[in-house]
Amino acid sequence: MENLKDYLEANKDKYLNQLLEFLKIPSISADSAYKNDVARTAEFVAGNLRDAGIENVEICPTEGHPIVYGDKIINKNLPTVLVYGHYDVQPPDPLDLWDSPPFEPVIKDEKIYARGASDDKGQAFMHIKAVENMLANDALPCNVKFMIEGEEEVGSMNLYPFCEANKEKLACDVILISDTSMIANDTPSITTGLRGLAYMEVEVTGPNRDLHSGVYGGAVGNPVNILSKMIASLQDENNHITIPGFYDDVEVVSVEERKAMNEAPFDVNNYKNGLEVKEIHGEKGYTTLERTSIRPTLDVNGIWGGYIGEGAKTVLPSKAYAKISMRLVPHQNSDKISELFKKHFESLAPESVQVNVTAHHGGEPVVTPTDSLEFKAASMAVEKTYGKKPIPQRSGGSIPIVPFFEKVLGVKTVLLGFGLDSDNIHSPNEKYGLFNFYKGIETIPYFFKYYTELKQG
Amino acid sequence: MENLKDYLEANKDKYLNQLLEFLKIPSISADSAYKNDVARTAEFVAGNLRDAGIENVEICPTEGHPIVYGDKIINKNLPTVLVYGHYDVQPPDPLDLWDSPPFEPVIKDEKIYARGASDDKGQAFMHIKAVENMLANDALPCNVKFMIEGEEEVGSMNLYPFCEANKEKLACDVILISDTSMIANDTPSITTGLRGLAYMEVEVTGPNRDLHSGVYGGAVGNPVNILSKMIASLQDENNHITIPGFYDDVEVVSVEERKAMNEAPFDVNNYKNGLEVKEIHGEKGYTTLERTSIRPTLDVNGIWGGYIGEGAKTVLPSKAYAKISMRLVPHQNSDKISELFKKHFESLAPESVQVNVTAHHGGEPVVTPTDSLEFKAASMAVEKTYGKKPIPQRSGGSIPIVPFFEKVLGVKTVLLGFGLDSDNIHSPNEKYGLFNFYKGIETIPYFFKYYTELKQG
């Protein structure tokens, strides 16, 4: 594999420049104003797959944004790796907190700053380049398929029917995804679990119009005050979630597993300093590492109502809104939790307001076994290039499509992410280290090699 | 006074068209983008005062928006009425709830729809036209001064020093203001009290940047959840305000006065139907009429934080904000209440967040006596033109400048408003009835007449 390393070394600048072009296109899937940019990004991905030597590349239209597919089948008797990634990105706001424009990537301190640098353009791009390297050096040891979608950040709603309808086309032995992070560049880890998600939107309506707070204040239910009370009551003084039945299906993690989990390197002072908070905050009885992996959570992701401009306006608003999401753990079910939330939230409303609760996309939690052949291959690949055995670690995030893939395609997933928690994904100043980008391209071919060897027996 | 009525009848259309021109200028004092429009509005007012026959008209510059002054002194031995009003308006948002554009007035069902139609362009304009009529018919019985400002909706901050610096120029025997409402067109009333105001803005900061709610959710204090809890705790289950010391100075209104107050015509079902709410909501132990007049209140006027766009974003926000105002009653003090709020709100914050509390403009509550000469004159004027004795009524709103005037100029105020609570002031589709506009122009000269007669003894 030495020639692969040399080849990467010789093409580093070219790959980086290509990634910067990728990052310049504002593929914001959540905002319909960017529909054409998202389409342009799909074409960029397709072009790069073709240039890498991938065959049967197609831009598959959906009711939303397109899915880019491509494959290279070298021998039907060899195993097949399906690479999944996404080329869409989160909205960049709040824009004023970015040090440089989100779609004008800059390199600073050996890191690429741009929306999507880590999540997931940078990480998906590593796979295209890794396969390009293997093909250029005649070193692809098995078959590969690519499925890079454009709606991950909005719930992958069109990927589900696409997978159902294309089981044959997508048939594979393992799914490989780089859309997660490691503990640190000198502490490699592999993600062995993801939380699920239930994402709700609530609307509280008081009077039928905005009112003068002097004329009506004190006599009419204020939807903002009432929404605040309703949200406040969703967690008790120990930060336990109060929705009846919410914890019914939560997996009880053994004392041993919790002990092992808490042996991962973690410094609470570094954590607090990095976030500039005086105190951490979470469910009583659990550590930070547990709170962000094996425990479900509830966070308001957005709230708005009334006058939010400059200065003062003495209005008693007609409406107040919030986006509220819950991260779920095995064996909670997204639809069931959404239903429990809706029922409970509606029951909290006093007679003076009306409440409307709707569910955005959700997803199921997933845990991947550490004793499987594919996990071993990933572990060996990381150990080879990082010089250290990776630590298995459950992530707090969600990739709702993963449990679905496993069900529909009947195979397991390897979550081989190369990012860091400090990459500011979904935040201003998202970044991705050059080290991580190149290390990914170097490591991925080893996964292909070890996986094929182990699979072949 | 019959010739005045004929004169008004002959000029109705002209006056209405002039008012429509007045309403077309977007004099939004809160938004600096409208500075030039506010200045144009001041010139419009000055021009109309001159056309009415008012002398010494000047546009007095301030550090903010200008104050328009003018007077007509017919005899130094006669009493002087100072008319106060404001030509600035509230921001019109939410714009999408207006049936017609806020600065393109339309007349529908005998009502003028436009921002400022009632508050306060329409009501201030009645005084200019009433004095124009008296002067045209040689019927002005006393001296008159006008002071029409452009910053009432943002706290009148520059009017305070203006009054202090111009005590001689503004010297008068009574202040006359039309910036309040009556119970109904067939149930005339005169406002005998105004609530005070303390208006706060709070900022809650959690982590130093927006975070991914999967990676950090459950382990870091979420400023929206925490702000909701803090707001929720400001009122108890009886809707009493929980700020320590908040009620200390609240005037205890006698059982007799409360009984009289509750005899005013009020139909709770009409009230609920008009607002399309199933249930009213307020402090336990008080009626709606009491809650909106003799009791202090706390309302969130605006709240915002996190992702508030279309779709879903899994963000744990760095910051959350709210605008929270309290209506005050005698003998609460705005500065003292602001201080109590700040201290209490800061004390509510857990260690995981930082809180910043600032005060916007405030104002003191005021009660005007019903046994005074000026009140009698107003009552006689209304009875003359409405054919019914007006009911004295405390209003829930605030005109912070009123208690200040009384202090600096050493005189009392008459709150002779002709609007209705249903005028949608500060709301979309603000309106002012043609009946109310013309009835005001008809009534005001009677106040001048009766006041001068009573004053002359």
- Which of chain B's residues have a Cβ under 8 Å away from the Cβ of A277? 206-208, 220-221, 352-353
Pick the CATH number of A196-250+296-359 from 2.40.40.20, 3.40.1080.10, 3.30.70.360, 3.80.30.20: 3.30.70.360
Please write the tens of the pLDDT for every residue from A420-432. Answer: 988 999 889 999 9
- Which of chain B's residues have a Cβ under 8 Å away from the Cβ of A305? 300, 302-304
For residues A42 and A421, the model is more confident at: A42
Question: 10 Å Cβ neighbour count for B3?
Answer: 12
- Which of chain B's residues have a Cβ under 8 Å away from the Cβ of A154? 311-312
pTM score of the predicted model:
0.85
Nearest to A292 among B201, B218, B429 (CB): B218
E strands along A332-437, which residues? 354-359, 366-367, 391-394, 412-415, 419-420, 431-433
Q: Does B199 lie at the interface with A, CB-CB under 8 angstroms?
A: yes
pLDDT of residue A82 exceeding 90, the answer is: yes
- From first CA to last CA, the distance across chain B in angstroms is 20
Please write the tens of the pLDDT for every residue from B275-311. Answer: 999 999 999 999 999 999 999 999 999 999 999 988 8
SS3 content of chain B, % helix, strand, coil (to 5): 35, 25, 40
Fold of A2-194+365-456: Aminopeptidase (3.40.630)
Please write the tens of the pLDDT for every residue from A195-236. Answer: 999 999 999 999 999 998 988 999 999 999 999 999 999 999
Per-residue pLDDT at B362: 86
Q: Rounded to 5 degrees, what angle do the CA atoms B226, B227, B229 make?
A: 65
CB < 8 Å & 24+ apart, contacts of B6-12:
B7/B133, B7/B136, B7/B137, B8/B129, B8/B133, B8/B438, B8/B441, B8/B442, B11/B129, B11/B133, B12/B438
pLDDT of residue A250 exceeding 90, the answer is: yes
Of A300, A299, A317, A298, nearest to A308 by C-alpha is: A317
Per-residue pLDDT at B399: 86
Would you say A337 and A250 are in contact if contact means Cβ atoms under 8 Å apart?
no
Instruction: Name every residue whose Cβ is closer than 8 Å to that of residue B47 and which is 6 or more positions away in sequence.
Output: none
Tell me which residues of chain B, numbers 111 to 170, contact chain A at a CB-CB cutoff of 8 Å: 154-155
Per-residue pLDDT at A29: 96
Q: Does A218 lie at the interface with B, CB-CB under 8 angstroms?
A: yes
Q: Looking at CA atoms only, how far is residue B89 from chain A in angstroms?
A: 11
Per-residue pLDDT at A257: 84
pLDDT of residue A386 exceeding 90, the answer is: yes
Helix axes A2-24, A434-456, angle to 10 degrees: 130
- Please state, for a pLDDT cut of 70, what percent of chain B lies above it: 100
Distance separating alpha carbons of residues B300 and A291, to the nearest angstrom: 32
Determine if residue B141 is left, alpha or beta; phi over 0 gives left, psi from -120 to 50 gives alpha, anything else beta: alpha
Tell me which residues of chain A, numbers 396 to 455, contact chain B at a CB-CB cutoff of 8 Å: 396-398, 421, 424-429
For residues A191 and A400, the model is more confident at: A191
- From first CA to last CA, the distance across chain A in angstroms is 20
Cα dihedral: A120, B313, A428, A18 (round 10): 20
Question: 10 Å Cβ neighbour count for B158?
Answer: 20
SS3 A430: coil
Per-residue pLDDT at B320: 98
Distance separating alpha carbons of residues A335 and A341, to the nearest angstrom: 10
Per-residue pLDDT at B372: 93
Please report how many Cα atoms fall inside a 13 Å half-sphere around the Cα of residue A173, on the Cβ side.
19
Q: For the residues of B301-370, what is the DSSP string, one character each? A: EEEEEE--SSS---EE-SEEEEEEEEEE-TT--HHHHHHHHHHHHHHH--TTSEEEEEE---B--EE--S
Element (H, E) at B438: helix B434-456
Supply A68's token pair: 């880019």
E strands along B172-310, which residues? 174-177, 181-182, 189-194, 196-205, 211-212, 297-306
Architecture of domain B2-194+366-456: 3-Layer(aba) Sandwich (3.40)
Instruction: Name every residue whose Cβ is closer than 8 Å to that of residue B90 and which is 6 or more positions away in sequence.
Output: A313, B28, B30, B115, B116, B119, B153, B425, B426
- Classify each residue of A216-237 as buried b or exposed e, where b means 16 or more C-beta atoms within 10 Å of its C-beta: bbbbbbbbbbbbbbbbbbbbee
Q: Does A343 lie at the interface with B, CB-CB under 8 angstroms?
A: no
- Which of chain B's residues have a Cβ under 8 Å away from the Cβ of A203? none
Q: How many CB pairs under 8 A join A and B?
A: 368
Instruction: Give the mutation candidate from A93, A197, A209, A294 for the B interface (greatest B CB count, under 10 A).
Output: A209
Element (H, E) at A201: strand A196-205
Per-residue pLDDT at B263: 86
Cα dihedral: A370, A376, A377, A379 (round 10): 80
Where exactly are the structural domains of chain A? Answer: 2-194+365-456, 196-250+296-359
**β-pairing verdict for B297-306 and B174-177:** unpaired
Would you say A90 and A28 are in contact if contact means Cβ atoms under 8 Å apart?
yes
Q: Does A268 lie at the interface with B, CB-CB under 8 angstroms?
A: no
Q: Looking at CA atoms only, how far is residue B283 from chain A in angstroms?
A: 7
Instruction: Name every residue whose Cβ is closer than 8 Å to that of residue A22 and which is 6 or more positions away in sequence.
Output: A41, A44, A45, A48, A87, A116, A121, A125
pLDDT of residue B159 exceeding 90, the answer is: yes
**β-pairing verdict for A196-205 and A319-328:** antiparallel
Distance separating alpha carbons of residues B62 and B153, to the nearest angstrom: 16
Closest residue in B to A232 (Cα–Cα): B229
**Residue B93: pLDDT band by 50, 70, 90 thresholds?**
confident
Instruction: Name every residue whose Cβ is closer than 8 Å to that of residue A411 and which is 6 or more positions away in sequence.
Output: A82, A172, A173, A174, A175, A405
The ipTM, to two decimals, is 0.85
Per-residue pLDDT at A267: 93
pLDDT of residue A358 exceeding 90, the answer is: yes
Q: How far is CA A324 from the centre of its chain?
A: 17
Across the interface, whether the CB atoms of A317 and B301 are under 8 A apart is answered yes
Would you say A224 and B300 are in contact if contact means Cβ atoms under 8 Å apart?
yes
- Please state, for a pLDDT cut of 90, what percent of chain A lies above it: 87
User: If you average pLDDT over every residue of chain B, what do you get?
Assistant: 95
Q: Look up residue A209 and give its amino acid.
A: R
Q: Does A206 lie at the interface with B, CB-CB under 8 angstroms?
A: yes
What is the sign, positive or negative, of the torsion defined by CA atoms of B154, B160, B163, B166? Answer: negative
Supply A191's token pair: 């993600």
Please report how many Cα atoms fall inside a 13 Å half-sphere around the Cα of residue A354, on the Cβ side.
9
Q: How far is CA A195 from the centre of its chain?
A: 10
Instruction: Name every residue whose Cβ is closer than 8 Å to that of residue B191 and which is 6 or more positions away in sequence.
Output: B180, B181, B368, B393, B394, B395, B415, B416, B417
Instruction: Give the mutation candidate from B99, B225, B424 for the A interface (greatest A CB count, under 10 A).
Output: B225
Distance separating alpha carbons of residues A206 and A223, to the nearest angstrom: 5
Q: How far is CA B338 from the centre of its chain?
A: 20
The residue-averaged pLDDT of A82-105 equals 95
Distance separating alpha carbons of residues A100 and A103, to the nearest angstrom: 9
Q: Tokens 């509280």 map to which residue?
A: A204
